[in-house]
Structure 1
Amino acid sequence: MKIDYPSDADLRAMIRFDSESGCIWLGQQRMILTHATAFGSMRSELIDSFGEEYARGVLMRMGYNAAQYDAQLAHSTRPDSMMDAFLVGPQLHSIEGIVGVEPLSVEIDPDTHHFYGEFSWSNSFEAAEHLRLYGVSDKPCCWNLLGYATGYTSAFMGKPIYFKEVECVAKGDSRCRIIGKPAEEWDEVEEFEKILSLQSMACKVNSLEEEVKFLRHEIIAAGDPDKIIAESVSIREVMFLLEKAAKTNVTVLMLGETGVGKEVFSQALHQMGELAPGPFIAVNCAALPQELIEAELFGVEKGGFSGAHQSRPGRFERADGGTLFLDELGELTEPAQAKLLRAIQTGEFERVGGSKKIKVDVRLIAATNADLAQRVKQGTFRADLYYRLNVFPISIPPLRDRLTDIPGLVKKFITVYNAKYAKQVLGITDETLNRFLAYEWPGNIRELENIIERGVILTDDNHRIESQHVCIGMPNELDCKMSLNAAGNLSKGQPPSQTNLLDSMETGKLSLEQLEAEVLQQAYSRTNQCVAETARLTGLSAPQCRYRLKKFGLLS
């Protein structure tokens, strides 16, 4: 049945333009005239900044709130007819130039609070703006209009009435069409309530803030020199080099395989030096588009290239007074390499498209897993930059060469992920540790950390991580035992014969003290740093064990 609108003369009579005061009034409510394209730009900013889901929620709540006064106005303007009063909302939407509304079906029963409504929309400004800025969508896009319909009808009926857009011009339909009915009649009621919740955006922001705080804490903690696990000789040597470099402002080149922790050691160097109060800015050169590397590192002046609508500083400027960490340095373009060399030598550079020299006080730490010397020979990396960077190289050993650090690293990562996931995992089983020690660790520390995170998630509180959860694809301890080789280091295979061990000691390759230190270190690690258990395992008294652990620097 076709529904005819009553005359809208009563509504148009309520609209007053007061040019002297700069006000537009609808009854007692102030209104504004604004450009549809301006609304479209704001809508686009919301989508690009927060994503469609949250932009949809904000715009729906905006429309929902705008409708509250109109619902009050409807009852007071047309008190004699429930239907005529309800049609105030659709008529106002048309008068305000937002959308043309054609009622297709409306059922209202004030006694039972029954409502059903179906409306066709024409000339939706919101659909038009979405098409202008984004093209055809795969979902309905009249979010603000839908929020108004929901808010108006809910306030008018005194109960939640939700509308759903089932056709939309923005997704290629010939018209926009909406259907509204009580909340309890929708299967998607929880989705509607979430979208219209005033706390949904606030909760998202708060959640992100908490995550950022957690990540910042983890970054700082990861780079704390005192918290770096350095049980192995190789990492102690690295820490010695870091201490020496920290006393100067020398450029440092971190070398090592992917996942060995080059950024962690770079953060430690930053915190050990005089520039520790300043920022630590990390850049992954491989993640930057080739054409944008220079702009990201050195900044860009307005008009410096197509799309540069405003000037902005680069990473060098942001790192002023602190440390700039350039990871995957071997991926830099030739022009970027030339600029970087000049910046290292003079402390000055120019933004892309600019001529003004900018001077900064920055410690540069570069990192790569590439063979830069080979790239110099191939002509893909500047020789003068390589020699300038190679003044103070520090090679971070792979995890397979620092197996004695694994127990400490495991303990550290379990602590981190217990806190993150509110768990109380106690550690790992002996079998898990043995299989860790027999594994090659191609992904190095990053792989170990990911495996421990998985183990913490899968393990119940007050239990230890078992091998079946984290040792997928790793050698079984029965297939690959670890033992002390003739040099006194851990290696795979059978232990050397006593004759070979004595020969090594006789030739000076292995001292008795070195052998004693290695045995104590392994026992101390296997017992999770328990002095009493280490004493029992080695056949020493507790005081003797404690004395020897202190002697070899294993116990502070």
Structure 2
Amino acid sequence: MAKPPRISLAEVARQTGTMLRRGDSGHFVDGQAPTMADLTESLFFSPGDGRIWLNDQRMLLLHSSAVGHLRRELIDTLGVDRARGLLTRAGYVSGARDAQLVRERWPQGDAANVFMAGTRLHALEGVVKVTPLSFDFDIDRGTYEGEFLWEHSSEDDEHISAYGIGTEPACWSQVGYATGYVTSLFGQLVIFREIECRSMGASVCRVIGRHAAAWGDISEDLRYLEAKDFRRLGSAGAAPADPEAALTSVIPAASAATGATGQDRHEIVGASSAFNSACHQLARVAGTRATVLFTGESGVGKEAFARRLHRISTRADKPFIAVNCAAIPESLIESELFGVERGAFTGASQSRPGRFERADGGTLFLDEIGTLSLVSQGKLLRALQEGEVERVGGTRVIRVDVRVVAATNVDLQAEVQAGRFREDLFYRLNVYPIHLPPLRERRDDIPLLMNHFLRREAERHGRRPTGYTPRAVRAMLHYPFPGNIRELQNLIERGVISAEDGAAIDVAHMFRREQLSDEALLAIGARGTLTAAKGEPEPKRLLDVLSGALHGSAGGGSVPLAELERRLLEEAAEAAGGNFSAAARRLGLTRAQFAYRLEKAREPIAKD
């Protein structure tokens, strides 16, 4: 029976709106992306700031013996069943994360190669060597079948060291990883079981994966995959009734706290400890009436956090009014804040409410509060203390119920000491301060912000970039971002506009005159060795690259087109293992065109 044709993720997504439909190990082509070289290029080290990255995911380099010690502690403290469940679920999250990485980094990848990337990533991460025996999947029919061998399992090494050879399989987190990776790509639950294990005396481990229905009773598998905390990942802490839905919900979201809709331009995104700390402080103060003061450099997202505070407060159904104090002339600040009565001054042809009145019952956000004059500060202080305002030119007092949230990018305490800010107003505003650190101090948030703004700006501008090159990710992770999140958004928008549709955003698409960091960054080279990745030059001209490839130099030699075409065709055929159909697809040709061109290229050149 003829095997179904290979199909790329992008083509399937365009035709059906889903990522993958079908594929099998017979259609896997070793030279097609993502190759092992592609994956290793995504792993880089930043020893200067203590971080290791796999594309946009932070990684850890741990001693296997330390992980083994933790495993023993879990087993001895919690018992085998509970320890197995914890490690299985941790592996599931890791697999789901890697699947997310592959989907976003190689959206054009062939279906079989994308599934195979999980086996390569697991090996790259030092966990286990995976040898696929066979796999076949068809999402339309809801079927998956795969069989794999695992060699050099780190889990087995540590388990055997602690407990010796036993009667039960021990590769718990690896089973969780395989389940998380394939389930995430497949779109429905796929269960992996370890049939043979080194911890049971076998020479290698053997695992089989099948869609849930093919196994029949999966209650034992779900016992380790389910947990109370995982089931509560849904909204309002409710547990889904369907255990399979509980599993698929465990895949981490792209942001820790978001706005009401994906269209909200004031959405806040992050995962760093500083971001989570600010979110916890927001949650604690949201239900109170306390005045909140956000501090931090320009562009760190103070207004976005203020809006988030309003959305999760008891005033969410009332107005949120924002005022940029630095943008209002001193002569108009009083009328803007407190309103004006008709005829109060020349040009006041009608009465109008001020920002305090418009925010009645809701939240008034005063940005750049430190720019107010001492006179305006005194009038603001009275409104805050008394809860009432009087319009310019008016005679009646108007009661207002307003929660004031302020923000500043200057040190107000230093301003108080310098006599430029009222001390009493400072204490009135500084009831519950929340500091938002600069982006250079919360680099764990950069990958999430990059993906968030990529999706938003691509939709806004109608562009279709495929993601970022590894070089672009490295540059962004080490750029100091003097303009913080506002600057990051600007760079991403520039990259979305500059990059070609269907291509990845590179450094040159985003950076123009900005000074890139000189901090050392190490990446995995083609031979598996660490190489310096800083100060990478701009791509050479294609002519120079091709000349260097033909003559083994930096360029400058002649580039005969006939020889160039022959080399290109032969290398494509070699990369595809002699499969002309696969080689032709890689070059955008039909099989007949490829075979004809290769035959002509190999003919001796006629002499005059």
Compute the TM-score of the two structures, normalised by the length of structure 2. 0.42
**Pair member with larger Rg:** 1
Point out the structure with the larger helix share.
1
Compute the TM-score of the two structures, normalised by the length of structure 1. 0.46
